[in-house]
């Protein structure tokens, strides 16, 4: 794969060249996706694999467009795209496994009683402010990396300059703190349940 050529095309500010670069990337789809072998085989059909690949190549293009990608020589584009796809896969796998788990527990009482749906921006602003204040910046950062960006604990540890064990403890503590907030505050709980229904 001629990475440098692809990078030049994608960063050209010219639609035709961008398209050419995207086509070149797409030609290497199988090569780029086979690196995610086992998880891909177990959890995704061909259509889903294709969608993930297309979505992340478009993300890559947008990141290059806003100059948020730094070309660092051979393999940098491939590694970056690998990370984009890897994290997407992690998040999607977790989502699929969570759905399976929720399905298993569905027979329990009080699991699907939606009492409120996201209604107003004002209400969200109150909830968001409440969580900000109670959760704290560090916890929020850890939880965003773990559950929004799909980063693994070792990646978070590296990012935050902490030991793996500390990061693991922090992540669990922060998650417990958020869960406690949800448990103790019906407004927050109902709002988040409403998000699930949307």
Partner 1 sequence: MKYTEIIDKYLDGKMTSQEEAAFEAQAKTDRDLAKEIELHQLAIVGIQYIQETRYQETKVRVEALVREVEAEQSTHLVVEESNNDVVRNEPKPPPPVIPIWIRHKLLPIAAMLLLIPTIYFIAVSYSNPLKETSVALIKHYEGTTQGEDNPDKPEKTVLLDAIDLFKQGKYKEAIPVFDGIISENVADKPSAQILKADALYRQGKKAEALHVLKSIKKEDDSTLYENVQKIIKKME
Residues that bind partner 1 (CB under 8 A): 15, 39, 51, 54-55, 59, 62-63, 66, 68-69, 83-84, 87, 90, 93-94, 97-98, 101-102, 104-105, 107-111, 124, 128, 131, 140, 143-145, 147-149, 152, 168, 171-172, 175-176, 178-179, 182-183, 188-189, 192-193, 195-196
Distances (CA, A) of 92 to 9, 58, 137, 140, 147: 30, 18, 26, 21, 11
Contact 71, 80 (CB under 8 A): no
The CB-of-143 to partner 1 minimum distance in angstroms stands at 5
The CB-of-104 to partner 1 minimum distance in angstroms stands at 5
The CB-of-111 to partner 1 minimum distance in angstroms stands at 6
Contact 76, 82 (CB under 8 A): no
Nearer residue to partner 1 within complex by CB, 24 or 131: 131
Nearest to 28 by CA among 60, 59, 55, 53: 53
Distance between CA atoms of residues 12 and 28, nearest Å = 20
Nearer residue to partner 1 within complex by CB, 6 or 127: 127
Q: What is the DSSP letter of 144?
A: I
Tokens 């890559």 belong to: 60
Nearer residue to partner 1 within complex by CB, 6 or 156: 156
Nearer residue to partner 1 within complex by CB, 28 or 189: 189
């Amino acid at each position: 794969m001629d990475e440098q050529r692809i990078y030049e095309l994608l960063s050209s500010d010219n639609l035709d060249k961008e398209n050419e670069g995207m086509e070149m990337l797409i030609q290497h789809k199988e090569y780029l996706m086979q690196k995610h072998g086992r998880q891909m085989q177990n959890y995704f059909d061909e259509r889903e694999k294709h969608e993930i690949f297309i979505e992340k190549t478009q993300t890559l293009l947008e990141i290059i467009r806003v100059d948020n990608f730094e070309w660092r020589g051979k393999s940098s584009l491939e590694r970056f795209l690998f990370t984009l796809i890897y994290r997407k896969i992690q998040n999607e796998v977790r989502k699929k496994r969570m759905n399976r788990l929720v399905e298993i527990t569905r027979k329990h009482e009080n699991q699907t009683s939606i009492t409120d749906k996201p209604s107003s921006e004002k209400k969200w602003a109150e909830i968001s402010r409440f969580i900000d204040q109670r959760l704290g910046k560090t916890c929020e950062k850890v939880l965003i990396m773990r559950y929004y960006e799909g980063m693994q604990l070792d990646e978070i540890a590296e990012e935050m300059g902490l030991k793996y064990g500390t990061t693991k403890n922090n992540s669990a503590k922060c998650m417990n703190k958020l869960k406690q907030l949800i448990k103790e505050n019906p407004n927050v709980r109902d709002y988040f349940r409403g998000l699930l229904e949307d």
